[in-house]
Chains A and B, each alone.
Chain A
Amino acid sequence: MGSIILPVGKSLGPTYNDEGVLEYTELHLGSTTEEIGADEITVWRLAHSDADAHNEHRFTLDHLRGLAVDDGSVSDVDTALEKLFKIGGLVRVDLDLDELQPLLGRHRLIPTGHAFGNTAETPDWFGIGRNDEVDINLGATAYFLWATSHRDASMWASCAEFTRDLPEVDVDDIAGEFANALPIIIAADCGYIETV
């Protein structure tokens, strides 16, 4: 399947100075806040687009690069990508091959949007969404971690805590379930990850 791209952080929007001139866009990355330019914020936003590609774990670097080139407004796509990787505004992970501890141990998930619980017809699925309707459905484990893991030191810590009272459950399995849901959670604007 190959490595996919996940955007990190939350945009705090443009900052205009007292003369009304745009100075930069602020990107909250958890442990730091970065001031980034127009190219970078456009690429970072594009990294949240194409929810289908995120959902199917095919949002690769080439996919993002293609979106940025097609967008037409980014003057130097590769430089913008390089800067975003350098500041931690983008991360790359192979969900099938990579150890998940480095990614999940370095990041925390902050949930946004609404939680809709399950339904009488599909009690195993729990809905979350940006507005008044369910945008995506998660299994109970991912739903619980989505809602509560921001309180822990990292997503990995949440997965370890989750398995603490369940000796028969492997932390790697829980981590896999959580990590597999992250791309669509982020693309559906139902949460963001930040560096711890």
Chain B
Amino acid sequence: MGKIIIPVGRSLGPFFDDEGELESYELHLGHRMDALDSPEMYVWTCAHDNPEAHGELAFGRTELLAACREAEVPLDEGQVGKVADLLIERGAMLEIDLDTDDLTAALSAHRFIPNGHAFGNRPDAPDECGVGTGDEPDITMGGWVYTLWARSYLDGSVLDACEAFAADLPDVETADVAREFAEALPVIVAADCGYLEPVR
């Protein structure tokens, strides 16, 4: 499948000091705040672009670079790559291959916080539940993912939540639940319907 990029954390916007000078962009990363400079904020923001690619689990370095170019971010290819490395190192982005052990490590190290509205299912599509940031669903998901989207943060890490969820269902393995949720996460984050934060 190759490595995909998922941004982590919630932006708390620019921080101006008492003299009206821009100090930094604050990024809430669970246990801590990180102060990003402008190039870092540009790249982190662009990592949320292109929900189609995120939905197809195809948002990698190439797509990040394309998103930065599209947004006319004033950084060249090499600079985007370096900033991306830095953000990954600092935990502000994940770069993972869902087919490897990276997945379990990432899900046990992060909690998911939902954002936006829950629309339930529909009479003509009872197996699909909608979530979105406005008055109608932006994305739909199956019942498992919907439940985890809404409640997983109560159990600690995403993996803890998947374990608790699977424990209630006979013949269902944690790995199956984790895989299904993990595959939905990129588009959920790109659609602004939730974000990951480090557990510790």
Using a CB–CB distance below 8 Å, which chain A residues touch chain B? 10-18, 20-22, 25-26, 28, 30-31, 33, 110-121, 123, 126-127, 130-131, 143, 147-148, 150-151
Contacts and interface: CB of A to CB of B under 8 A. Distances in A.
A11 B28 contact: no
A119 B16 contact: yes
Q: Choose among B14, B21, B114, B123 the residue with the greatest number of A CB atoms under 10 Å from its CB.
A: B123
A117 B35 CA distance: 12
B12 interface: yes
A117 B123 contact: no
B187 interface: no
Contacts of B124: 20
Given A12-B120, A112-B115, A116-B13, 6 more contacts: A12-B146, A15-B120, A20-B126, A22-B123, A28-B150, A31-B154
Given A30-B154, A115-B10, A121-B20, A11 B118 contact: yes
B22 A113 contact: no
Contacts, number: 92
Contacts of B18: 123
A115 B11 contact: yes
B73 to A, nearest CB: 19
Contacts of A28: 118, 150-151
B121 A117 contact: no
B130 A13 contact: yes
B87 interface: no
B15 A14 contact: no
B119 A126 contact: no
B17 interface: yes
A15 B121 contact: yes
Nearest to A124: B18
Interface of B: 10-18, 20-22, 25-26, 28, 30-31, 113-124, 126, 129-130, 133-134, 146, 150-151, 153-154, 197
24 contacts: A10-B114, A10-B150, A12-B150, A13-B118, A13-B120, A14-B121, A15-B121, A16-B121, A22-B123, A26-B120, A110-B153, A112-B115, A112-B116, A117-B14, A117-B15, A118-B16, A119-B16, A120-B21, A123-B16, A131-B133, A147-B10, A150-B113, A150-B153, A151-B31
Interchain residue pairs A-B with the least CB separation, the first 8: A13-B120, A117-B13, A20-B123, A120-B20, A117-B14, A14-B120, A115-B12, A12-B118
Q: Most chain-A Cβ atoms within 10 A of its Cβ — which of B12, B30, B117?
A: B12
A14 B126 CA distance: 10
Contacts of A126: 12-13
Contacts of B197: 151
Given A30-B154, A117-B26, A148-B28, A13 B121 contact: yes
Given A20-B123, A21-B123, A131-B133, A123 B20 contact: yes
A17 B122 CA distance: 9
Contacts of A33: 151
A111 B120 CA distance: 20
Contact of B118 (A10, A148, A150): A10
Residue among A26, A117, A147 with the highest chain B CB neighbour number at 10 A = A117
Contact of B17 (A22, A110, A123): A123
A15 B127 CA distance: 10
Nearest to A143: B12
A127 B28 contact: no
Contacts of A22: 123
Contact of B126 (A17, A30, A148): A17
A45 to B, nearest CB: 11
B22 A120 contact: yes
A196 to B, nearest CB: 9
